[in-house]
Amino acid sequence: MDEQLKRLREETLAKARQFQRRRDELGKQPGAGPVNVPVAGKVFDEEEVAALVDSALDFWLTAGRFTDQFEAELAKYFGLKHAMMTNSGSSANLVALSALTSKYLGNRRLSKGDEVITTATSFPTTINPIFQNGLVPVFLDVELDTYNIDAGMVEGAISDRTRAVMVAHTLGNPFDVEKISRICKERGLFLIEDCCDALGSMVNGRMVGTFGDLATLSFYPAHHITTGEGGAVLTSNPLLKRAAESFRDWGRDCWCKTGCDNTCGKRFGWKIGGLPMGYDHKYIYSNIGYNLKATDMSAAIGLAQLKKLPLFMEARKENHNFYLDFFKKHEKFFILPKSYPGADPSHFGYLVNIRGGAPFSRGELVAHLESNGIAMRMLFGGNIVRQPAYEGEKYRVVGDLLRADHMMGNAFWIGIYPGITPKLRAHVTRAFDEFLSKF
Ligand SMILES: Cc1ncc(COP(=O)(O)O)c(C=O)c1O
């Protein structure tokens, strides 16, 4: 590389670091305004800013060297063979489920009308790909204390059209993945683990995301690590890897990286289906795909964030445990969160779940929190079959979904991300104590 360019890059990166250090210094000065407790936020420093500027100076813009490295490091972190970056967790879910419909899978592929088991309290884009692929979601109820799919209902929900289970580890708390993956193996079903909120969660020493056929991640700013917009699909299955990559990259058959040609060594030597002999492999489409790729700028930030993941997880765990301890004294009002034996969750949020029959409503409690500057979020769409988007759509419900209804009316979550300091936690618990002392 040209020496002058190299020096200019180094100077630019040093300036970018200096800029962020100053911004961090200013951010640490005590603010004069009222206390605000967000549910989530970006936690970053000069490393992320320098990485972003470094990738901007490359001006590669699409997936490139940072993406290759980020994908390699993600795969290594999970001990899986492949990670494919996407432009969001929702895209990762769409790619993962679409991969199961690929012609590459022969007679194992899912076809229109096949069923996919999931839960009614899912995030919308965990289940939307089921509809978008012409498949039929089968909605199961949740457990009130783990706020996860009721694994005991899965076997009974399987019909002769059921082909897959696609479900999230809710708010980072692992669902009974050992049981569900065992059922899937026995019954020949695919399993997709939505780990968008569960990066780093473990079950008996094994990372969630490694139990199923495919797993997905989100790097939206609320998540364990962020790349701005971003996500990833993980798998060790070479066929599913090819299918997922194809759906992500326009549906093409070719697997050349951006900017590369002839990786297969016979770019003009393919004869597939009714195509003329030698048609350019770059323009052969074997899946009805999308373009859901991410950019190198996002991947560069992700690389810096991955290094901080252990510290982020520790902070989240500490905050979650703190709230769990605090709520014990208020157990008569709240169903406390529980994890399966052997689970070591990397939590996303703390679920506040008001018991049925409590002397106050969620609305009253939330209004009190909001007036104290404490933000909260619902458990996604509650019982999703009650959402207008799904009215009149084809799905199957198993059971009465009464617990999903309970979640819709009684639950919400508060932030535990690393930006929640002991001072903010104390503010939160004070506000809860103040409200609950009236009852
Ligand atoms: C469980 C779950 N799956 C998928 C997503 C979608 O991720 P994204 O916002 O990156 O599209 C989210 C979003 O937070 C989520 O919570």
CB 82 within 8 A of CB 241: yes
Residue 32 has pLDDT above 90, yes or no: no
Rounded mean pLDDT, 57-81: 97
**CATH 3.90.1150.10-classified regions of the chain:** 309-436
pLDDT digits over 177-206, tens only? 999 999 999 999 999 999 999 999 999 999
The predicted structure's pLDDT at residue 51: 98
Residue whose CA is at the smallest distance from ligand 1 atom 8: 89
* 154-183 per-residue burial string, b: 16 or more CB within 10 A, e: under 16: beebbeeebbbbbbbbbbbbbbbbbebbeb
Q: What is the pTM of this model?
A: 0.97
Cα 8 from Cα 402, distance rounded (Å): 62
**Ligand 1: nearest atom to the Cα of 125:** 4
Q: What are 6-17's pLDDT values in tens digits?
A: 999 999 999 999
Is 309-436 assigned to CATH 3.90.1150.10? yes
DSSP 289-349: --B----HHHHHHHHHHHHHHHHHHHHHHHHHHHHHHHHHTTTTTBPPP---TTEE---SE
Model pLDDT, residue 136? 98
Supply the residues annotated as catalytic.
223
Q: Is the pLDDT of residue 30 over 80?
A: no
Phi and psi (nearest 5°) for 243? -65, -45
Single-letter amino acid code for the residue at 335: I
Q: What is the pLDDT of residue 320?
A: 98
- Asked if 95 and 251 touch (Cβ cutoff 8 Å), the reply is no
- Residue 301 pLDDT: 98
**Which contiguous run of DSSP H or E holds residue 17?**
helix 3-28
Shortest-distance atom of ligand 1 to CA 170: 1
Q: What pLDDT sits at residue 29?
A: 79
- Contact by Cβ (8 Å): 296, 58: yes
pLDDT category at 33 given cuts 50, 70, 90 is: confident
To test the pocket of ligand 1, the residue of 87, 88, 123 to mutate (highest count of ligand atoms within 8 Å of its CB) is: 123
| CB-based pocket (< 6 A), ligand 1 | 88-90, 93, 123, 125-126, 168, 194, 196-197, 218, 220, 231
With 80 as the cut, is the pLDDT of residue 80 above it? yes
Residue-wise over 353-371: b if at least 16 C-beta within 10 A, else e? bbeeebeeebeebbebbee
In degrees, rounded to 5, the angle at the alpha carbon of residue 345 between the alpha carbons of residues 143 and 327 is 65
